[in-house]
Amino acid sequence: MPPPADIVKVAIEWPGAFPKLMEIDQKKPLSAIIKEVCDGWSLANHDYYALQHADGSNFYITEKNRNEIKNGAILRLTTSPAQNAQQLHERIQSSSMDAKLESLKDLASYSRDVTFAQEFINLDGISLLTQMVESGTDFGDMLSFTLTAFVELMDHGIVSWDTFSVAFIKKIASYVNKFAADISILQRSLAILESMVLNSHDLYQKVAQEITIGQLIPHLQGTDQEIQTYTIAVINALFLKAPDDKRQEMANILAQKQLRSIILTHVIRAQRAINNEMAHQLYVLQVLTFNLLEDRMMTKMDPQDQAQRDIIFELRRIAFDAESEPNNSSGSIEKRKSMYTRDYKKLGFINHVNPAMDFTQTPPGMLALDNMLYFAKHHQDAYIRIVLENSSREDKHECPFGRSSIELTKMLCEILKVGELPSETCNDFHPMFFTHDKSFEEFFCTCIQLLNKTWKEMRATSEDFNKVMQVVKEQIMRALTTKPSSLDQFKSKLQNLSYTEILKIRQSERMNQEDFQSRPILELKEKIQPEILELIKQQRLNRLVEGTCFRKLNSRRRQDKFWYCRLSPNHKVLHYGDLEESPQGEVPHDSLQDKLPVADIKAVVTGKDCPHMKEKGALKQNKEVLELAFSILYDSNGQLNFIAPDKHEYCVWTDGLNALLGKDMMSDLTRNDLDTLLSMEIKLRLLDLENIQIPDAPPPIPKEPSNYDFVYDCN
């Protein structure tokens, strides 16, 4: 007969004694269980003791986490968190260097446990650690353990970052320069600086005064990827929190220090794989760099500004190499106006009389004009060829350079999400953007030539402008998904994605997806749809039964902490629990100790309605994370918060949870699956099977051939 669900069989250790085998009743108060254990070893004052896991994590067992105890677990009787915190608080102030070092080592380990951390912080432990750092007497392992303990304690979010002094910041900043050879001290110092900048505006200003880009750059030239990651994270944090008027100044400093080429050489093209955290930091740097374009993108052209008008004159001059202007004799002003109007028409502006009016729409604003001038100056031959080629065509077949450039700039800003905050979960950086100081401008130059080429291949007219832009966007997106390592490789990918090739790809994707709109077919669809929706529902619920690993996010920095959630096979309970690492296979059922009955679920909310999306935290309120966030609300104001690993899992889980609650499945994935399955089912039912007998059993397997002479030996 299986043991009751509330009884857990464990072994409990106590130094110098044989371990005890014991049955713990989870209904009894924890204090009563500890008293029972202490009485068994004749230990007085049971309030001074606690239980903790003996598996290396050393986490204390509390009323909140006691459900995580599994059958067969090994526990340890130890001093209570309050007693342990008090002892360590005294021991780290010891005059004996050996005792102090050992105590700091223990403190660094224990501080990962939130129960201990709360007790140590209550003793003003954070202030003690900051004083020890400020004193400057510790070094080597002692300093490393001090900083580790500080980072772990602050990670729990119990203490505000706004409380630290300038002296402490100066000390941490000095370690970035002083201890370049000591990896552990350097890593923790960089982590502290990043957290300070991200979590406090006042500390950002103080850190920005103490640390310079020049001091950070050398750490990128080393070989330790973790140090490189933390260094880029600090640069990103300074970039992200800088006031708008300071960001361009910081970008100029980064350019002077050749940050881009250093990252390209020592990180992207280093002879080692880029891990997820590094990929994320490179993505954040890429987004923040492109966001510098937002100001120009949202700036309208002032038709009265002579300096801005001069840019348009320069575009005309380069294209047509105008000879000396006519003298101001009678009629010369009219002639000049007429000539300018004609040339602006050839340049493809919508407003031939006053092209400045073309740049009053935002986005792309002045950014489009900047791109056009860059193309004209740095790719002059290509620019002149495009303009002259089009000016020699019939009007209706002309590819308007001005209009194309404006629309293309707007499209590229949408593709690169210029102006949006970086996502906290995305790793999607493009190596090619790190190969050139003017990567956006060069990206534009490649794409405007692609647009002109595609226009010719499509034999487009002015009425086809939007169709051409759609094809060009598809060409660019398909080339970007291959992650070209350089702009030249990007051009090569585009060469292989001609209009003919795009048509082939579209045709192949469109096969078997014809849309049947006749009345009998629509009636058949209505009849079949409930069956298909039930099939999709079962698939979603089966996926929930398999379960998914979700990543835990931290406002200080991303960490590889995971938790797993799955639905019970009878669809009545959600089982979930924390994991040490991402699972490689099936997660054992007994490792998920927490339960949530489906009957207790009141609602499923998504996006901005989620409780964890309403919190104020660094990089929280951004579009991509919001699109992956959902929460389960249950009895007693309880909540279970999720951030899906990708859009597919988000759709699967929101559909499955809605199905459990008897609500409609409204995700994009359901719509796509419904369309695909309906199309397949209708085609099967419409097959001409008259006079064709469909066998009930599969055909027999034929006998083996007498010889295999027909087999070709590839070797």
What is the architecture, at CATH level 2, of domain 529-671? Roll (2.30)
Grade residue 609 by pLDDT with cuts at 50, 70 and 90.
confident
Give the pLDDT of residue 398: 84
The more confidently predicted of residues 534 and 627 is 534
Angle at alpha carbon of residue 117, lines to 151 and 27, rounded to 5°: 140
Q: pLDDT at residue 551 above 90? A: no
Sign of the torsion formed by the C-alpha atoms of 395, 401, 402 and 407: positive
d(CA 427, CA 640) in angstroms, rounded, equals 25
Among 475, 444, 482, which residue's Cα sits nearest to residue 457?
475
Phi, psi of 58 (to 5 degrees): 60, 25
Write the DSSP symbol of residue 598: G
Does the N-terminal peptide bond of residue 363 adopt cis geometry, omega within 30 degrees of 0?
Answer: yes
Residue 35 in tokens: 């008293």
Q: pLDDT at residue 331 above 60? A: no
The more confidently predicted of residues 443 and 513 is 443
Give the pLDDT of residue 619: 44
Grade residue 294 by pLDDT with cuts at 50, 70 and 90.
very high
The more confidently predicted of residues 323 and 573 is 573
Give the three-state DSSP class for 644. coil
pLDDT in tens, 165-175: 889 999 998 88
When the pLDDT of each residue in the chain is averaged and rounded to a whole number, the result is: 87
Strands 629-634 vs 601-606: parallel, antiparallel or unpaired: antiparallel
Among the listed ranges 243-247, 436-440, 546-550, 628-632, which one has the minimum average pLDDT value? 243-247
Give the highest mean pLDDT range of 62-66, 401-405, 551-555: 401-405
Sheet of 629-634: strands edge to edge?
A: 601-606, 629-634, 638-643
Grade residue 423 by pLDDT with cuts at 50, 70 and 90.
confident
Average pLDDT on 604-620 reads 71
Q: pLDDT at residue 100 above 50? A: yes
Give the pLDDT of residue 223: 87
Residue 357 in tokens: 């009016």
Average pLDDT on 563-567 reads 91
- Range 631-641 burial, b when 16+ CB lie within 10 A, else e: bbbbeeeeebb
Every domain of the chain with CATH number 3.10.20.90 lies at 7-75
Give the pLDDT of residue 515: 52
d(CA 505, CA 511) in angstroms, rounded, equals 10
Residue 390 in tokens: 């089009």
pLDDT in tens, 205-241: 889 888 888 889 999 988 889 999 999 999 999 999 9
Give the pLDDT of residue 425: 82
Does the N-terminal peptide bond of residue 431 adopt cis geometry, omega within 30 degrees of 0?
Answer: no
Average pLDDT on 479-492 reads 94
Percent of the chain exceeding pLDDT 90 equals 49
Give the pLDDT of residue 386: 93
pLDDT in tens, 17-46: 888 898 888 888 999 999 999 998 888 888
Which amino acid belongs to residue 403? Answer: R
Give the pLDDT of residue 608: 84
Count Cβ atoms below 10 Å from residue 121 Cβ, excluding itself.
Answer: 18
pLDDT in tens, 379-408: 999 999 999 888 877 777 788 999 999 999
Grade residue 180 by pLDDT with cuts at 50, 70 and 90.
low
Please spell the DSSP secondary structure of 246-284, one letter per residue: HHHHHHHHHHHTTHHHHHIIIIITSSSPPPHHHHHHHHH
Residue 567 in tokens: 């639905």
Q: pLDDT at residue 547 above 60? A: yes
Contact 213, 257 (CB under 8 A): yes
d(CA 614, CA 608) in angstroms, rounded, equals 7
Among the listed ranges 467-471, 574-578, 682-686, which one has the minimum average pLDDT value? 682-686
Contact 77, 13 (CB under 8 A): yes
d(CA 175, CA 173) in angstroms, rounded, equals 5
Average pLDDT on 588-592 reads 76
Average pLDDT on 411-421 reads 94
d(CA 37, CA 455) in angstroms, rounded, equals 82
User: Going by C-beta distance under 8 Å and a sequence separation of 6 or more, which residues neighbour residue 419?
Assistant: 291, 294, 297, 298, 413
Average pLDDT on 81-103 reads 92
Give the pLDDT of residue 151: 93
Among the listed ranges 34-48, 288-302, 324-338, 569-583, which one has the minimum average pLDDT value? 324-338
- The correct CATH number of 7-75 out of 1.10.357.10, 3.10.20.90, 2.160.10.10, 1.10.645.10 is 3.10.20.90
Average pLDDT on 315-321 reads 87
Every domain of the chain with CATH number 2.30.29.30 lies at 529-671
Q: pLDDT at residue 494 above 90? A: yes
Give the pLDDT of residue 179: 63
Grade residue 118 by pLDDT with cuts at 50, 70 and 90.
very high
Strand partners, 454: none
Percent of the chain exceeding pLDDT 70 equals 92
Grade residue 277 by pLDDT with cuts at 50, 70 and 90.
very high
Give the pLDDT of residue 512: 46
Contact 180, 142 (CB under 8 A): no
d(CA 457, CA 444) in angstroms, rounded, equals 20
Give the pLDDT of residue 5: 66
Average pLDDT on 486-505 reads 93
